[in-house]
Amino acid sequence: MTTDAPPPQPDQATGTAQPSTQSFTQVQQSTEFGELRRTYRSFAFPLTIAFITWYLLYVLLSNYAGGFMGTKLFGNINVALVFGLAQFATTFLIAWLYSRHAAAKLDPKAEAIKSRMEADA
């Protein structure tokens, strides 16, 4: 970081020095922050697209393939019910996968950036 940044301003609630706006801008433009964003996006975007596709498939099949969705698998359980419950399971699976991904790859990088900013303040 350059030394021409204005001095950190104290936080009025805690009285501790906070990084300046220029410090935030410099971090945002750093390669380390770019790598953090890239790591996040490389996980979040493909999973979001996959889930939306899966959801739209369910909706389209429900609207236009009633015969298929009404196919009984066993007892009163049909394809539509199984797909609908799979939507919930998929949601929880994605949340769990994201939690693991964030803890392993995002949080350490974000914590390093945060610690360095707080040390500079």
Strands (E), the chain: 9-10, 17-18, 72-74, 77-78
The residue-averaged pLDDT of 68-72 equals 94
Say how far apart CA 53 and CA 60 lie, in whole Å: 10
pLDDT class for 26, splitting at 50, 70, 90?
confident
Q: Are the C-beta atoms of residues 87 and 58 closer than 8 Å to each other? A: yes
- Give residue for tokens 């392993």: 104
The residue-averaged pLDDT of 29-47 equals 94
Whether the model clears a pTM of 0.85, i.e. scores above it, the answer is no
- For 5-19, the pLDDT digits (tens) are 555 555 566 656 677
The pLDDT mean for the chain works out to 87
pLDDT of the residue at 45: 96
The pair of three-digit structure tokens given for residue 121, joined into one six-digit string: 């303040």
